[in-house]
Amino acid sequence: MNPAPTESAAPGAELPWRGTLWYVLILVVALLLFWWVCERGERLSVGAGTSSAPLTKEVVDVPHHLLATMAVVIGLGFVLGRSLRWIGQPPVIGEVLAGIVLGPSLLGAIWPAGMDFLVPGRLTDPEGRVASAVQGVASLGLVLYMFLIGLELNGARLRRQVQSVVAISHSSIVLPFILGAILALWIYPLVSDPMVSFTGFAMFLGAAMSITAFPILARILTDRRLEKTELGEIALGCAAADDVTAWCLLALVVGVVRSQVASAAWTLVLTMAFIAVMFLIVKPNLARWIRRWEDRPGSLPVSVVSLTFVGLLVSALVTHSIGIHAVFGAFLLGAIVPSDSRLARDMNATLRDPVIFLLLPAFFASTGLRTELGLVSGWENILVTCAIVIVAIAGKFLGATLACRATGGSWGLSASLGVLMNTRGLMELIVLHIGLDLGIIGPKLFAMMVIMAIVTTLMTSPLLGIIVRSFPDEPAFRRDFAES
């Protein structure tokens, strides 16, 4: 090879005209050549039978509609969330409402063509390709979100307060569950499907009534700077215990409902086996594996990130294959990662924004598209909806308040805890989706329950403000609790 010649400085630095000359020369020659090639080429004919994809395809343009839907739901959710923040509401309310506004409840009713542009209906997209794409992004967002919720679950805090917290949490689940089941006696004949057994319907209604939204509860506490108070400690502990219990209960319900008769036991056995494997085999190995990266500088290695995503997807798939929902597996994997480990912190830091602000809005769009508030018409349906809302509030509020009072809490603490545990938010929508996906509930009950979820979420923050102001001397609201 030729040895390196003398010019070794940055090329072109001392000879600018050489670069320019070269440049112009190249361009002129290239244009002439290209003109000559096209001259010759246009006379060529294409052999028959080599035809490939047609130039104009008639299938619907999936990315176009998907990107448009996501842009609109994120943008509208942001605007609505901003507007509602002035009256003290958490931003998620705006996103939930944005989804509903864009669905058949509002946009579809007043401007069908607009809704059809975002997610084409039967006429433009008979195969439901765009809806499937939205659903795909939504399910990915949901699985990641539940993983994040699991990551935030602080096992140490749960164990520290285990006795009082579990008692309060479980009675705030049991009471709405039972009230929901009793309510089922009335509404089962009105809104259910003959294919669904009463027991399954009642269990699902009960479980759906007993949900508390951990992230929204945490958000409301932070907004009011109450997260470091005694109330904050207990409420976060109860909400975490609620999360674990409610999801176990729901997994049980789904197992029972889905696998009609004999295989219900099989689903339960498999679920238990999966939980046992995750806690007894995966958890210790994972903790050992994670510790290796605990003190290394820089960002997490690529292999850790890739393998975490694979593990997350596989865990979600296993629970999905067992017959309970994919979100359980994702939540469980998040829960067994130590919440104070570097993996949990780093994953949380990177995933939070893209999941919450980009992928999850697809879930809200998907929820909104399936929510037909128009189905809740006529006196009977409105009456049923009111009953659902009242039972949900009463069950959750009374369950938490009375249990806290019975285990020795003051009235101020008990009442504020009751109000906080009543917030359902996004978690309720996830549960309702599971019910709708599995056919346990129909679109009408879905719409009624969505109304319940929105009402209970909307009332939490203002009510908490009233209670905090009513008990000015309550020690549970003192902000120096964590330091003492």
Contact 459, 411 (CB under 8 A): no
The pair of structure tokens assigned to 76 is 């509208």
Minimum distance from CB of 186 to a copy of itself (Å)? 9
Contact 236, 222 (CB under 8 A): no
Q: What residues from 9 to 48 belong to the interface with a copy of itself (CB under 8 A)?
A: 9-16, 18-20, 22-23, 26-27, 30, 33-34, 37-38, 40-42, 44-47
Contact 347, 306 (CB under 8 A): no
The reply to whether 411 sits near a copy of itself by the rule CB under 8 A is yes
Residue-by-residue DSSP string for 391-421? HHHHHHHHHHHHHHHHTT--HHHHHHHHHHH
Nearer to a copy of itself, 283 or 481 (CB): 481
The pair of structure tokens assigned to 182 is 């009793």
The pair of structure tokens assigned to 241 is 């215990």
Nearer to a copy of itself, 20 or 124 (CB): 20
Which region among 113-121, 160-168, 271-279, 455-463 touches a copy of itself (by CB under 8 A)? 160-168
Exactly one of 88, 352, 373, 398 binds a copy of itself (CB under 8 A); that residue is: 352
Exactly one of 178, 386, 398, 459 binds a copy of itself (CB under 8 A); that residue is: 178
Nearer to a copy of itself, 175 or 250 (CB): 175
Minimum distance from CB of 274 to a copy of itself (Å)? 16
The pair of structure tokens assigned to 119 is 């997610």
The reply to whether 380 sits near a copy of itself by the rule CB under 8 A is no
Minimum distance from CB of 118 to a copy of itself (Å)? 12
The pair of structure tokens assigned to 378 is 């006529």
Exactly one of 252, 309, 339, 386 binds a copy of itself (CB under 8 A); that residue is: 309
| Backbone phi, psi, residue 63, to 5° | -60, -40
The reply to whether 191 sits near a copy of itself by the rule CB under 8 A is yes
The reply to whether 253 sits near a copy of itself by the rule CB under 8 A is no
Exactly one of 269, 409, 416, 464 binds a copy of itself (CB under 8 A); that residue is: 409
Minimum distance from CB of 159 to a copy of itself (Å)? 14
Q: What residues from 67 to 106 belong to the interface with a copy of itself (CB under 8 A)?
A: 67-68, 70-71, 74-75, 77-78, 82, 91
Q: What residues from 289 to 308 belong to the interface with a copy of itself (CB under 8 A)?
A: 300, 302-303, 305-307
Torsion sign, CA atoms 167, 477, 481, 349: positive
Which region among 97-105, 176-184, 261-269, 281-289 touches a copy of itself (by CB under 8 A)? 176-184
Exactly one of 93, 322, 413, 468 binds a copy of itself (CB under 8 A); that residue is: 413
The reply to whether 62 sits near a copy of itself by the rule CB under 8 A is yes
Task: List all residues 6 or more positions away from 294 whose beta carbon is below 8 Å from its beta carbon.
Answer: 341, 342
Exactly one of 50, 58, 86, 298 binds a copy of itself (CB under 8 A); that residue is: 50
- Most distant CA pair in the chain, distance: 94
Residue-by-residue DSSP string for 8-53? -SSTTSS-HHHHHHHHHHHHHHHHHHHHHHHHHHTT--PPTT---S
> Residue type for 153, please?
L
Nearer to a copy of itself, 110 or 261 (CB): 261
Contact 168, 238 (CB under 8 A): yes
The reply to whether 199 sits near a copy of itself by the rule CB under 8 A is yes
Distance between CA atoms of residues 323 and 327, nearest Å: 12
Q: What angle do CA 472, 475, 477 make, to 5 degrees?
A: 70
Kindly state the DSSP code that residue 341 receives in the 8-state scheme.
S
Nearer to a copy of itself, 326 or 454 (CB): 326
Minimum distance from CB of 131 to a copy of itself (Å)? 8
Distance between CA atoms of residues 130 and 121, nearest Å: 9
Contact 120, 130 (CB under 8 A): yes
What is the chain's length? 484
Q: Is 479 helix (H, G, I), strand (E, B) or coil?
A: coil
Q: What residues from 422 to 441 belong to the interface with a copy of itself (CB under 8 A)?
A: 436, 438-441
Nearer to a copy of itself, 174 or 287 (CB): 174
The reply to whether 163 sits near a copy of itself by the rule CB under 8 A is yes
Helix-, strand-, coil-residue percentages of the chain, each rounded to 5: 75, 0, 25
Exactly one of 149, 207, 250, 316 binds a copy of itself (CB under 8 A); that residue is: 316
Terminal-to-terminal C-alpha distance of the chain: 76
Minimum distance from CB of 347 to a copy of itself (Å)? 9
Nearer to a copy of itself, 417 or 458 (CB): 417
What mask of x and - would describe binding to a copy of itself in positions 115 to 154, judged by CB under 8 A? ------------xxxx-xxxxxx-xx--xx----------
